[in-house]
Amino acid sequence: MNAIMNWMERYFIPVASKIGAQRHLVAVRDGFVAIMPLIILGSFAVLINNLPVEVFQNFMESLFGEGWTAVGGNIWDGSFAILSLLVVAGISYNLAKSYNVDGMSAMLISLASYIILTPTTEDWGLAYAWTGAQGLFVGVITALLTTELFRVLYLSKFTIKMPDGVPDGVIKSFRALIPATIILILVSLVQIFINSATDGSLHELIFNLIQEPLQALGNTLPAAIIIAFLNHLLWFFGLHGTNILGPVIESIYLPLLEVNIQQFASGVSAYDVPYIITKPFLDAYVFMGGSGTTLALIFAIFLVAKTKHYRAIGKIAAPAGGFNINEPVLFGLPVVLNPVMLIPFIFIPVLLTITSYFALATGLVPKTVAMVPWTTPPVVSGYLVTGGSITGIILQLFNLILATLLYIPFIRASESAEEKKQQIIQEEMKGENKS
């Protein structure tokens, strides 16, 4: 165990730390985080419109009329329907600010570039098919590349300099004029070339060659297991695995969730929507209490822990753990860099990924059709993400009970190891006093 820990600390941790702090990945992560309120709001709008409770539906119709769902539909139009546009804006702005260049100009140029690359309808409107989650891959690439090109041009000599005394906003806009011109011409030429070569758009080309296979792979159990394993391996060494893997998780699993939500909104049962693995699947059934399913760890502490330290940490961590915030238990127990806790912390979430996958795949539990805040407590989240099914709660309770039972022997082993460590320290202190 020590040899493995030493190897990981020497070779794995430095690489993972660099990846976690990499400028472009951070910009992608922060871009998604910035729009998360709109994603959650749009998801709840669809959920409320299609909540499968007849009494509720009849009440809302009698109160507001047959068109009461128009409000939720409009919210969806302003959130999920333009998801890619929001992501482009968020990523570009954050990446530009990390370079200390004009974030607003970079964001507007990236949005303009994305619109050039996006197919239009017959009446010259943007096609919702590509402004939503299906266009995310092109959106992320467009934001990164155009912002990098903007940075190079913006910091070069090929900009318009304004005299002293001109307002700062005017200086920035004129300085961005030549970079914007060059970028939009290049993007336009790319669009013309792709259209002539494929009789389609960059969106269609990327979706057919890359995004569709990635999404198909992401919906598989092996892919979900790999993500669960890597997330917790990173966390074990004190690295924020959720943030490091966030760009991958968001890019692959948000489009799958949107398809589920769209079909659910059109009247398809939550059991019959296509995708099993989505972001709320991981949040609701695996990351209960936070990464490591640490709400179960807290339950195990209350059940079997004897030392004052463990029980005190359990009491301190329990309120936050109920809302999936687990830093108090991760660093207070600690779980991080605790060899005894390595196995349960990493492999319990992997096991819960498997049990949850088969529960949804066999039809025992509906698939996820709503995005809820990651701080939503278990039981509540299980009900909401399934479109209002009690079986979502039952699966969460099953997973929590299973995880608690699996954590118990490791709590005892960890306490035993701590007691032996304290005994050795006391014996050494006694020996020093005698000498």
The whole-angstrom separation of Cα 420 and Cα 413 is: 11
The more confident residue out of 382 and 209 is 382
What local confidence, expressed as pLDDT, does residue 96 receive? 94
The whole-angstrom separation of Cα 306 and Cα 119 is: 64
Local structure of residue 237 (DSSP, 8 states): T
Does 59 have pLDDT greater than 90? no
What local confidence, expressed as pLDDT, does residue 11 receive? 60
Structural domain spans, the chain: 222-434
Q: What is the CA radius of gyration of the chain?
A: 25
Q: Which position has the token pair 């891959």?
A: 137
Percent of the chain at pLDDT above 70? 89
315, containing H or E segment: helix 308-321
What local confidence, expressed as pLDDT, does residue 382 receive? 95
Does 366 have pLDDT greater than 70? yes
The whole-angstrom separation of Cα 236 and Cα 227 is: 14
Strand partners, 120: 126
Does 239 have pLDDT greater than 80? no
Does 6 have pLDDT greater than 80? no
In this predicted model, what pLDDT tens digit does every residue of 395-424 receive, in sequence order?
Answer: 999 999 999 999 998 888 878 777 776 676
Q: Which of 46, 27, 219 is nearest to 139 (CA)?
A: 27
Q: With 0.85 as the threshold, say if the pTM is over it.
A: no
Does 174 have pLDDT greater than 80? yes
Q: What is the mean pLDDT of the chain?
A: 84
* Listed ranges 94-98, 153-157, 325-329, 330-334; the one with the highest mean pLDDT: 94-98
Cα 328-334-336 angle, rounded to 5 deg: 100
Q: Is 427 exposed, middle or buried (0-12, 13-18, 19+ CB in 10 A)?
A: exposed
